[in-house]
Amino acid sequence: MPAGRTAILAIPVAVRYIPAVAVDFKWDPRFRGEGMSLGLCRGLTAWVDGENVTQEGMGLGAAACRHRRLTYFSANAIAHQGEDGVVRARYRLDRRIMWRMGEWQSPWLTRLVESTADGYMSVPKLQLPLMVAATMIRRKLRLNSRFVPASPVAETQFAYTVRGREVDIDCTVRLLGRGSTKVSIMSELGADFFTGAIAKGRMLAPPTGWQPLALDFPTPALYDRRHELKFSLASVIVTPAAPWRLYWGREKTADCCWAGFEIEVDVRRLPAETLSVRYVVSLG
């Protein structure tokens, strides 16, 4: 697929529920998000009663790759829906995030910001005040980000199978060359909708930033009080065997508006250049 070209099609792949709220899932590259992640390809977007609830989230089933201490996303994708109803999409991870201070841009500045983000994820209890402080610091130092074209570091293939209000997601990642350290498989929707959480039948405050989760499925759910919808993950399988972690989180700031889950796989000792991640998303 030529660089810079994205297939333009919208594929509705959901069943409507009556009389409850109508939940639809679509693969639509014309929707490129908003906020800090504006311009990137999404996974499946989620629609409730005709309203897109994805906001700045990366959608259901999208990938990122950390390569030589820089993070790469996709701005090039193509998809088709087979006779079996499964939507299959191919992404090239060919955009890397670059941070600027005013008009000054540097890979070293970006690596410093990325390292700070890693430190932020390592202290879950402090993430809320750190999130507020980081927003203030970014404004004070005029820090801003953009996604710049780069040689692709990985290619991914996703198969999305909708079963009512569940989506079976089957992802294959092919690493291109050496230097990659982790792959993140994301399922994110909008923070304005998912403002609460439920675990073991109890209503909770939503997680802040990225919080680690025990590998006990189904996961606790993010909760949309307005539509009474629970957003959760189940049945994660990673092959070949590689260390992986599961996170959930929510950020609602002037720059961010997402809530969702991330499967983070350590690929430094991957015995092959191909990784498979399978899981189920529920929005019920």
Residues 6+ positions from 231 with CB-CB distance below 8 Å: 189, 194, 221, 222, 223, 224, 259, 260, 281, 282, 283
**Would 180 be classed as within a structural domain?**
yes
**pLDDT score, position 71:** 94
pLDDT band at 129 (very low <50, low <70, confident <90, very high): low
**pLDDT score, position 5:** 44
**pLDDT score, position 132:** 55
Boundaries of domain holding 259: 11-95+152-283
Question: What mean pLDDT value characterizes the chain?
Answer: 85
Mean pLDDT, to the nearest integer, of 277-282? Answer: 97
Please give the tally of structural domains in the chain: 1
**pLDDT score, position 103:** 66
In 110-242 the beta strands, taken as DSSP E runs, fall at 143-163, 166-175, 180-189, 196-199, 202-204, 209-213, 221-224, 229-239
Distances from the Cα of 185 to the Cα of 24, 25, 62, 172, 228, angstroms = 21, 18, 6, 10, 26
Mean pLDDT, to the nearest integer, of 37-45? Answer: 93
pLDDT, tens digit (0-9, with 9 covering 90-100), for 89-123: 999 999 998 876 666 666 766 767 776 666 555 55
Between 129-138, 169-178, 249-258, the lowest mean confidence (pLDDT) is in 129-138
pLDDT band at 64 (very low <50, low <70, confident <90, very high): very high
**Would 114 be classed as within a structural domain?**
no
Residues 6+ positions from 15 with CB-CB distance below 8 Å: 162, 164
Mean pLDDT, to the nearest integer, of 169-198? Answer: 96
The residue among 18 and 267 whose pLDDT is bigger is 267
pLDDT band at 254 (very low <50, low <70, confident <90, very high): confident
**Would 158 be classed as within a structural domain?**
yes
The residue among 146 and 65 whose pLDDT is bigger is 65
Between 68-72, 115-119, 182-186, 222-226, the lowest mean confidence (pLDDT) is in 115-119
pLDDT, tens digit (0-9, with 9 covering 90-100), for 189-221: 999 999 999 998 999 999 988 889 998 888 999
**Would 130 be classed as within a structural domain?**
no
Mean pLDDT, to the nearest integer, of 17-41? Answer: 84
**pLDDT score, position 14:** 47
**Would 117 be classed as within a structural domain?**
no
Q: Is the pLDDT of residue 142 over 80?
A: no
pLDDT band at 16 (very low <50, low <70, confident <90, very high): very low
**pLDDT score, position 12:** 58
**Would 141 be classed as within a structural domain?**
no
Give the DSSP H/E element, type plus range, for residue 114. Answer: helix 107-121
**pLDDT score, position 131:** 57
Mean pLDDT, to the nearest integer, of 261-272? Answer: 91
The widest CA-to-CA distance across the chain, in whole angstroms, is 54
**pLDDT score, position 1:** 45
Q: What is the CATH number of the domain that holds 36?
A: 2.70.98
d(CA 258, CA 274): 29
**pTM recorded for the entire structure:** 0.83
SS3 193: coil
Q: Is the pLDDT of residue 143 over 80?
A: no
**Would 121 be classed as within a structural domain?**
no
**pLDDT score, position 265:** 96
**Is residue 280 within 8 Å of residue 234, measured between CB atoms?**
yes
d(CA 171, CA 157): 6
Please name which of 15, 32, 254 lies closest in space to residue 144, comparing C-alpha atoms: 254
Q: Is the pLDDT of residue 80 over 50?
A: yes
**Would 55 be classed as within a structural domain?**
yes
